Amino acid sequence: MSFSTFILASLLLTALPSGDPLPVDFTRDVRPILSSKCFACHGPDAEAREADLSLIDFASATRELAPGVAAIVPGDLDASEAWLRIIDDADPMPPRRAHDPLSDDEVATIRRWIESGASYRPHWAYVEPTEIARVSSNDAGVVDRLLDDRHASLGLLGSDAADPVTLLRRLSFDLAGLPPSPADVDACLALPPDERLPRTVDRLLASPHFGERLAVRWLDLVRYADTVGYHGDQEHRVWPYRDWVIRAFNAGMPFDRFTRWQLAGDLVVDGDPDLPEGDRQDALVASGYNRLVQTSHEGGLQLKEYRAIYMADRVRNTSEVWMAATVGCAQCHDHKYDPYTHVDYHAFGAFFADIDDEAHLRNPYDGYNTSPTRREPEMQVTTPDARRRLEDIAQRRATAQRRLQAAETAADETSPAWERMMEARIAAGGDRTQTWVDDVLDTGGTERGDWTFHTDPAIPARHGTAYRVQRSDGLVQHYTVDTDRRIRVEPDSVLEAWIHLDPTDPPAAVMLQAHADGSWEHRARWGDDSISYGRTADDSPAYRRMGDLPPTGGWHRLEVPLAEIGLTEGVDIDGIAFTQFGGTVRWDATSVRQPGPAPPEVVEALRRPRGDRSAEDERVLAAHRRSSDPAVDAAAAALATIEAEREHVVSTLPTTLYTRRLETPREVRVLPRGDWLDESGPMVAPAVPAFLGEVPRRDPGNPRADRLDLADWLVTPASEGGVGEMTARVFVNRIWAMLFGEGLCPSEEDFGGQGRPPTHAALLDLLAVDFIESGWDVKALVRRIVLTDAYARSSVPVGDTAALDPANLHYARQTRHRVDAEFVRDIALSAGGLLDTDRGGPSVKPPQPAGLYRHLNFPMRRYEPDTDDAQWRRGVYVHWQRQFLHPMLKAFDAPSREACVATRSVSNTPLAALVLMNDPVFVAAARGLARRVLADDSTASDRDRLAHAWFIALSRRPSESELMVLERLLQKSRRDFGDMPENAITLVDAAPRGESTASPHGRPPTEFAAWIQTCRAILNLHETYTRE
């Protein structure tokens, strides 16, 4: 007998005045015993079956095993072979070697069950909701009635409603993960009593913090984290998925759509050309769900092994998240307790065989040892902010384009005057110089390295006003490439650059390099051969040896005839690189000198009389005219600047992991015993566990079902061929658990035979059916539950309730529990007035102990904490390093997010106490709280201020005894810091970077420190972090 049934049974026994035991209930009483004690050998796994006996259903259990012998003979104990074996002292069942005998109570239950006819009922989780649920789901009071009926039958006394402040705090923690502000408390209490609850619920459901609160639960389930998890645990980029989850909850996205987008956002986009652009992007971001598996690119990995590992991870996660099912247990053999077969496991995994995600497994040495690392495919995400900027740029760009066009037209009209000007210039002779960079990098395109331009009176620029300084101990290269500005190579073009070698720190070599036609194989180097890029044994255009370095200590011009580095007439240069080995080099203006006052073809065309010019001549002249007209030049430059801005915005857009479908899915074979080296098993196509039926295909012509079919099946009601009611039960149960501390089915993670049956099956069914009928409306579900009387009850038990129902399985009272780790942080920061409620964006890095990542490698990691307001962001945005989670989060039981977690444990450890006492973030919060209460009216008494601090953190006034404890601590602390003022200064000044250290109102540090110390006490209280 499992303990839940034990409690239940004993409660029932206690409750019944007659002392008659209740009729045996198969689901509640018998199946748990069979499952835990018998099914390992007589259960669903055919291969492990002993004595050819299965006890999984009535037919199997009562089948004739030998003439006249059956395991169970309904109503006839002595004829039942199973019973005879159970009571056989010499050779009992379960066998002694199992070390798991039946208890006396369990034996008694089996006895009564056989005697009363040995009826079987299908497992509760696999049957449709009862008719009652459908009939009564619209009844507003039905939830409380169902619960109250149970209390009556069990002799439990329901607690009264909690006081309004407790209820306000409970709602704030449950729906926003934050304590109410003092203003919230006052506003709530100012309302008429019957409006307080509904108005508060409305406010919180509309608050953007609702999504943050629900996301904490959801992100645990889907194991969202900022790092890959295995081996080097490098960062991967998927935070837009986290933001999408938060926005989806806030926007009230129906849960069925929420499901489809995550499992198959890519297929949703493919199948719906009418989907608005914003939704298309969101659906793809949501499909990042499939990419949240832990990944590895450890050297020496085996592709097929990791393919099997990823598949197992996905099967486990998807089945746990949406079905509360442990399909993953059937990886090596049929499930021991639930009807999931070994083939079901692989067929379920085959749904995910079209996810294109193996680049890092196929080429693990391809430069992945960076952090962040790459995990192809990744998509760019246009954030709302970026979208606004891009729209603005698009407008300005259109204007600039019009201006350029106008300038060009104007240039055409001034043609005769221009020709006269050109003729004069040709007559005068001379060369043209096209400057590449000077004083500023304005070429457009992308750049690498330091492009700061310096001025230094000791070494004036050779050209313009400033130059770049490149310094290194070894090989260093700065470049720009894919530039908007391009320079056309003419027959005798020469690349020139001004250079100054530092006499005290000369380089070994310098190199100029040009990019054209997609190639960098155009190099000229001075000095020795220490620059390895493109180094060839023989002199070649890809590594042209130009001779010795110029003398140090002055400006010299490097010159490279472009033909020598393989750049021929007509080619466009669109990139240039400056390389050196060691030393300090100043690089000034770089340009291309074109011989003659105009390109040869222009000179030729101009020489021809107008009437004799060919169409080609006209084209050449028009092009040159435009390119040399200052107005056109200015308009073109303006456009280029805008284009560069656009390029910059686009290139800095965040990227995120998403799902891209393979045209041909990977083949999936049944792996005998889960052994990936054994390829002898049959191939399987995607399918849901066979006992649950078949997945309807959207397109019956499609030879295989896909992820969108799976998602549809999960959220389609049974009447239409899906398992929507099962999915709804799983989700509804989790919401209930979030609001009551324990689910209606207490095993939130496992609805299977080894889980615990629901304590309130009808209520669970009712809410599930209602949830579907509401259009999978999550906010409506939450609202319905929090507006019940049951939710509002005090968590203080009355009568014998605590003894009768210690685990509060029947909700005669509310539950108390410490809030989740993220909210512990949020509460402290909020009390300290530090909390930054900005939403979304890259994960934030609050201070953490030095050296936490010392065991990471590939690459070695250095944690750079945020120093701006980002360090005070909410816990849900904190960087999630799977292998080394922030110790504060870990101490309060935040999971590593390596696997699905439906229920966090709630521990109470010394490590958590150390965080509250000593983590600098919590000390900063205490400093903030002290500053808040010292900031106001300077005539307030100590007691007023202490009460104020207390109210900020706990939403209530302190009692007289509480106030006395605080006062004593304050006085003691004044003495302590008065004796050792240097300690006060240290405490006051020990603020993390970015936090103000000034004492409020110029109070001496000893006074401020005493208040900080007293506020630390408030931020160490049990009550501060307890949802009651």
Partner 1 sequence: MSEILAELDAMSRRRFLGSLSMGLGAASLSQWPGALPAVAAAGPAPPLLLPKAKRVIFLCMAGGPSHLETFDHKPRLVELDGQPMPESYTRGMPIAQLQGKELRCLGSRATFRQHGESGQSISDYLPHIATCADDIAIVNSMVTEQINHDPAHTFMNTGTIVPDRPSMGSWVNYGLGSLSENLPGFVVLTSVGGRNPQPIAARQWSSGFLPSKLSGVEFHGQGDPVHYVANPPGITTDCQSNLVDAVAELNRLRAETTRDPEIDSRIAQHELAFRMQASIPELMDISEESPETLEMYGAVPGDGSFASNCLLARRLAERGVRFIHLYHRGWDHHGGLKQYMDVCCDKCDQPTAALLKDLKRRGMLEDTLVVWGGEFGRTPMSQGGGSDPGRDHHIKGFSMFLAGGGVLGGVTHGATDELGYDAVQDVVHVRDLHATMLHLLGLDHQRLSVPHQGLDVRLTGVESARIVREILT
Decide whether 32 or 177 has the Cβ nearer to partner 1.
32
Closest CA to 439 of 457, 456, 419, 455: 455
Q: How is 705-721 classified by DSSP, letter by letter?
A: --HHHHHHHHTS-GGGT
Whether residue 817 contacts residue 855, with contact meaning beta carbons closer than 8 Å, is answered with no
Decide whether 33 or 565 has the Cβ nearer to partner 1.
33
Whether residue 422 contacts residue 432, with contact meaning beta carbons closer than 8 Å, is answered with no
Q: CB neighbours (10 Å) of residue 850?
A: 8
Decide whether 882 or 1003 has the Cβ nearer to partner 1.
882
CB of 735 to partner 1, least distance (A): 18
Q: Element (H or E) spanning 476, and its range? A: strand 468-481
CB of 335 to partner 1, least distance (A): 8
Decide whether 670 or 1009 has the Cβ nearer to partner 1.
1009
Tokens found for residue 850: 């030095």
CB of 865 to partner 1, least distance (A): 15
Decide whether 338 or 438 has the Cβ nearer to partner 1.
338
Decide whether 605 or 954 has the Cβ nearer to partner 1.
954
CB of 976 to partner 1, least distance (A): 5
d(CA 1, CA 154): 20
Burial of 99 (0-12, 13-18, 19+ CB in 10 A): exposed
Angle at the Cα of 786 from the Cα atoms of 781 and 788, rounded to 5 degrees? 105
- Beta-bridge partner residues of 470: 585
CB of 825 to partner 1, least distance (A): 14
SS3 558: strand
CB of 949 to partner 1, least distance (A): 12
CB of 888 to partner 1, least distance (A): 8
Decide whether 603 or 965 has the Cβ nearer to partner 1.
965
Find the largest Cα–Cα distance for the chain: 125
d(CA 693, CA 757): 23
Decide whether 298 or 450 has the Cβ nearer to partner 1.
298
Decide whether 549 or 737 has the Cβ nearer to partner 1.
737
Decide whether 834 or 901 has the Cβ nearer to partner 1.
901
CB of 35 to partner 1, least distance (A): 8
CB of 100 to partner 1, least distance (A): 6
Decide whether 95 or 278 has the Cβ nearer to partner 1.
95
CB of 958 to partner 1, least distance (A): 9
d(CA 96, CA 90): 10
CB of 988 to partner 1, least distance (A): 7
Closest CA to 853 of 26, 382, 234, 314: 234
CB of 534 to partner 1, least distance (A): 27
Tokens found for residue 186: 């006052």
Tokens found for residue 113: 């069950």
d(CA 752, CA 127): 12
CB of 933 to partner 1, least distance (A): 17
Decide whether 543 or 977 has the Cβ nearer to partner 1.
977
* One-letter-per-residue 3-state SS of 341-358: CHHHHHHHHHCCCCECCC
CB of 906 to partner 1, least distance (A): 5
Decide whether 501 or 745 has the Cβ nearer to partner 1.
745
Q: How is 361-373 classified by DSSP, letter by letter?
A: HH-TTSS--SSS-
Decide whether 250 or 955 has the Cβ nearer to partner 1.
955
Whether residue 380 contacts residue 653, with contact meaning beta carbons closer than 8 Å, is answered with yes
d(CA 233, CA 62): 54
- Beta-bridge partner residues of 580: 476, 510
CA distances from 515 to 98, 224, 588, 704, 998 (A): 74, 42, 19, 49, 55
Decide whether 233 or 266 has the Cβ nearer to partner 1.
233
- Please enumerate in sequence order all residues whose Cβ is within 8 A of that of 909, keeping only pairs 6 or more positions apart, or say none: 891
Whether residue 740 contacts residue 786, with contact meaning beta carbons closer than 8 Å, is answered with no
Decide whether 607 or 855 has the Cβ nearer to partner 1.
855
d(CA 305, CA 717): 37
Residue whose structure tokens are 């605080």: 966
Burial of 192 (0-12, 13-18, 19+ CB in 10 A): exposed
- Please enumerate in sequence order all residues whose Cβ is within 8 A of that of 887, keeping only pairs 6 or more positions apart, or say none: 848, 849, 852, 911, 915
Closest CA to 984 of 927, 905, 909: 927
CB of 922 to partner 1, least distance (A): 9
Whether residue 446 contacts residue 571, with contact meaning beta carbons closer than 8 Å, is answered with no
Handedness of CA 528, 534, 535, 538 (dihedral sign): negative
Decide whether 567 or 930 has the Cβ nearer to partner 1.
930
Angle at the Cα of 743 from the Cα atoms of 742 and 746, rounded to 5 degrees? 90
Residue whose structure tokens are 């000198």: 593
* One-letter-per-residue 3-state SS of 400-437: HHHHHHHHHHHHHHCHHHHHHHHHHHHHHCCCEEEEEE
Tokens found for residue 404: 């350029």
CB of 1028 to partner 1, least distance (A): 7
d(CA 581, CA 473): 7
CB of 281 to partner 1, least distance (A): 31
Angle at the Cα of 284 from the Cα atoms of 280 and 290, rounded to 5 degrees? 155
Decide whether 109 or 655 has the Cβ nearer to partner 1.
109
CB of 583 to partner 1, least distance (A): 29
